[in-house]
Amino acid sequence: MSISLTKRISARDNPEFKRFLAVRARKNRDLILVEGPKLLAEAIRSRLVVKAIAVDESAEGSPAAAVVPTLRFAGPLMKSLSEVETHQGIVALVERPRFGREWIEKKDAFILILDGLQDPGNVGTLLRTAEAAGVSGILLTRGCADPLSPKALRASAGSAFRMPHVLELSPDDLLSLLPRGVRLVAAVAGPGAASAFGDSPLAPPIALALGSEGSGLTPQIERAASVRMRVPIARHVESLNVGAAGAVLMFEIARRAGRLK
């Protein structure tokens, strides 16, 4: 499918380029920067609104870019918008998805809590895993990486477009959002925690809380948990990556709840 391109833009002070640059610098929080044909296709599949598309000056066309008028940026401009060493030749400005909070109140809610996870790669990976495991939605405390930042988006492979999430919560606000009757499970590595493959009740409604590898869960959140859960290991290691531990725990909860196909 061919597309109609505007004239080549090569000046850094061009208003159209500066618009993209502002979103990359997170000066406009209503839009997100989506890079690459696969992620752009995921954004369109997720029914997000694409506001503008820019392709490298050497591009001949892109089916995904047919949805809106397309700009043509000189190579150095396109490179300056990319966060990877070799850019993929296409970037888009997309409206940030907006999620309600009704999923929190569902009787069979499976909630994931991310507490203080600063690595966007871990956050994105956990969102992708959460979608596969049938998680209802995600609550993120203040200080967590933005799931819609470029690195997190790449790690989530587009799941961040669809997984309901609430950002920038204080521990108190987060705990107040959990409905009465939700079992809060704290993932911990220390002694006194039950094995994930033991007999602890893990039926929904349930909330699984994961903390950062360095400092673990906020004390308020860990104290509020009715179950402290660990991933059993065969040999001693310093700690599991939070993405790996989270995957084991999410899929064990999903398995017991009959959510897996």
* For the chain, domain boundaries: 5-95, 102-256
What SS3 state is found at 220? helix
Mean pLDDT on 206-213 = 95
Q: What is the pLDDT at residue 63?
A: 46
Q: What is the pLDDT at residue 3?
A: 47
| Strand ranges of the sheet holding 70-73, from the earlier edge strand across to the other edge | 5-9, 70-73, 50-56, 90-95, 31-35
Q: With contact defined as beta carbons under 8 Å apart, do 81 and 20 qualify?
A: yes
Mean pLDDT on 167-188 = 96
Mean pLDDT on 55-70 = 65
pLDDT band (50, 70, 90) for residue 66: low
d(C-alpha 148, C-alpha 123), whole Å: 10
Determine the CATH number of domain 102-256: 3.40.1280.10
Instruction: Determine which of 25-29, 106-110, 151-155, 228-232 has the lowest per-residue pLDDT on average.
Output: 25-29
Instruction: Determine which of 10-19, 118-127, 153-162 has the lowest per-residue pLDDT on average.
Output: 10-19
Write down the H helix ranges in 134-235.
150-156, 171-177, 219-224
pLDDT at 5 over 90: no
Tell me the pLDDT of the chain averaged across its residues. 90
Burial of 35-65, coded b for 16+ CB within 10 Å and e otherwise, reads bbbebbebbbeeebebebbbbbbebeebebb
| Domain at 5-95, CATH from 3.30.1370.60, 3.90.79.10, 3.30.1330.30, 3.65.10.10 | 3.30.1330.30
pLDDT at 131 over 70: yes
Q: With contact defined as beta carbons under 8 Å apart, do 250 and 112 qualify?
A: yes
Mean pLDDT on 131-159 = 97
Q: What is the pLDDT at residue 233?
A: 86
pLDDT band (50, 70, 90) for residue 2: very low
pLDDT band (50, 70, 90) for residue 86: confident
